[in-house]
Amino acid sequence: MAELFRRLTADVRDDAPFILAGDRRITYREMYALTAEIAAALVALGVKPGDRVAVQIEKSVEGLLLYLATIRVGGVFLPLNTAYTGAELEYFLQDAEPVLFVCDPARSDALAPIAEKAGVTQLETLGADGNGSLADEIAAAPVDGFREVARDPDDLAAILYTSGTTGRSKGAMITHENLASNAEALAEIWRFTASDVLLHALPIFHVHGLFTATNTLLKAGGSMIFLPKFDVDEVIRRMPEATAMMGVPTFYSRLLGSDAFTRELTSGMRLFVSGSAPLSPETHKAFSARTGQAILERYGMTETSMITSNPYDGPRKPGTVGLPLPDVSVRIADPETGTPIEDGEVGVIEVKGPNVFKGYWKKPEKTAEEFRVDGFFITGDLGYVDPDGYICIAGRAKDLVISGGFNVYPAEVEALIDALPGVKESAVIGLPHADFGEGVTAVIAVKPGTSVSEDDVRAGLSGSLAAFKIPKRVVTVDELPRNTMGKIQKAALREIYKDLYAS
């Protein structure tokens, strides 16, 4: 059996409920049967161990089962944000060379030529309602068309694309061991059991919703209320049935914005986890004041899954991301040399352990750049250790904006803005934003004698860039501030415009 599937399901009870979605209740026994059916279709479609299966589909039960089925056939699951445009997808498909691409039925006409251009020969569709050509393949696949495939701990289970400072995405190669070890550690330290009911409102195309939430819950044999997306009213409506939730900080600030979110509503909840972006101490404190419960903040990355977590028992300190997970080593190092530095001083966060990915797909030189010779991975996040040994994140060495838990790489957005008519140059920065944490913002200088409006920039980017990457505001200046080396001073811009979203 594939290592990850074997370890995630080692202790589950067959008759226990796994997924609760709408009026559907899928037990673990049914999950085995359904994933075996999907696996038979994948085999019939020619998916062999090590082959990539790329998917860009709306969140659905079938989509989640497709992930597990891909793991069972030994495939490498490659989920893609539903907001990505055709232009963005083309690169991923070309680079990853999947044998199969599954997309939403509504987008298949538009994406078929893109997939073809990228050399992907098989395109199937799967809609949020579970229908589509893949469903037909599943119905037609032979009943005994799937036999368990053995996969080793070091084999790839997934590739997730994530960008470096260059703005060009790299595929993080994630192994069975990476995911299994992280799920085992999290289920234990967060005390997940078969009695847990996880309120699942995250997308399942990123680490948080797909691995941190799903794998941990699965490892414990619990059940999850599987919602299509985060909708405050729906989350509040279902909360009395749940015991735990995981979310990005925007989930918690939006919940606090509703009067229906009360202490009584949360009385059956034992755990709220936050991550993917910094949870402000204000939100942390307001949440405790409203509910009497402290949000548990943890820290992770696509390349590493979860790295640190505040304790389940013991203080969950606002503004900190807690302590390293069992078996995970974290050090704070000098960004230039990698030499560990004193507790309390700010340096780059580096990590080593069974959670750390194998490298970037087809990019050995990029992989080499991001690891120290002794095997520590350089996260690009800046942090320090407080007197209690808790890690605090103090900023980012990498140029990255995190908006509502989605990463936006300024270099990618700037390159497209700079190519727009009339634009001389641009700087994309993140500014404090009450809802998204950081609001993607462009500061532009235009060529003499031209004028470029906010709408021109936004319209010029749509179609090329996923909507969440498009600047919420565009500010025009005469000149971008530069230091003596000629480098644009983004810190100065962030200071000047820090109140742009204040109203």
User: Is residue 301 a contact residue for ligand MLC (CB under 6 A)?
Assistant: yes
For 487, residues 6+ apart whose C-beta sits below 8 A from its C-beta are none
User: Is residue 132 a contact residue for ligand MLC (CB under 6 A)?
Assistant: no
- Candidate residues 202, 295, 428, 443; the one interacting with ligand MLC per rule CB under 6 A: 202
Tokens 């404190």 found at: 285
**Coil, strand or helix: which one is 34?**
helix
CB of 158 to ligand AMP, least distance (A): 13
Mark out the alpha helices in 357-480 (DSSP H runs): 364-370, 410-418, 454-461
> Degrees (nearest 5) of the Cα angle 48, 50, 53?
75
CB of 385 to ligand AMP, least distance (A): 15
- Candidate residues 63, 98, 300, 380; the one interacting with ligand MLC per rule CB under 6 A: 300
Site string for ligand AMP, 256-295 (x = CB under 6 A): -------------------xxxx-----------------
**φ/ψ (deg, to 5) at 9:** -105, 10
- Candidate residues 37, 58, 350, 381; the one interacting with ligand AMP per rule CB under 6 A: 381
User: Is residue 390 a contact residue for ligand AMP (CB under 6 A)?
Assistant: no
Q: Are 190 and 296 in contact (CB under 8 A)?
A: yes
Nearer CB in complex with ligand MLC: 9/253: 253
Mark out the alpha helices in 407-461 (DSSP H runs): 410-418, 454-461
CA distance 175 to 142: 29
User: Is residue 405 a contact residue for ligand MLC (CB under 6 A)?
Assistant: yes
**Coil, strand or helix: which one is 174?**
strand
Q: Which does 250 bind (CB under 5 to 8 A by kind): ligand AMP, ligand MLC, none?
A: ligand MLC
| Positions 418 through 477 that interact with ligand MLC (CB under 6 A) | 436, 467-468
User: Is residue 355 a contact residue for ligand AMP (CB under 6 A)?
Assistant: no
Short-list 146, 127, 123, CA closest to 38: 146
CB of 303 to ligand AMP, least distance (A): 7
Q: Which does 81 bind (CB under 5 to 8 A by kind): ligand AMP, ligand MLC, none?
A: none
CA distance 68 to 79: 12
| Positions 217 through 246 that interact with ligand MLC (CB under 6 A) | 229-230
**Coil, strand or helix: which one is 367?**
helix
Q: Which does 229 bind (CB under 5 to 8 A by kind): ligand AMP, ligand MLC, none?
A: ligand MLC
The beta strands (E) that lie in 295-355 are given as: 296-301, 305-309, 323-324, 329-333, 347-352
List contacts with ligand MLC (CB under 6 A): 202-203, 206-209, 229-230, 248, 250, 275-276, 300-302, 403-406, 436, 467-468
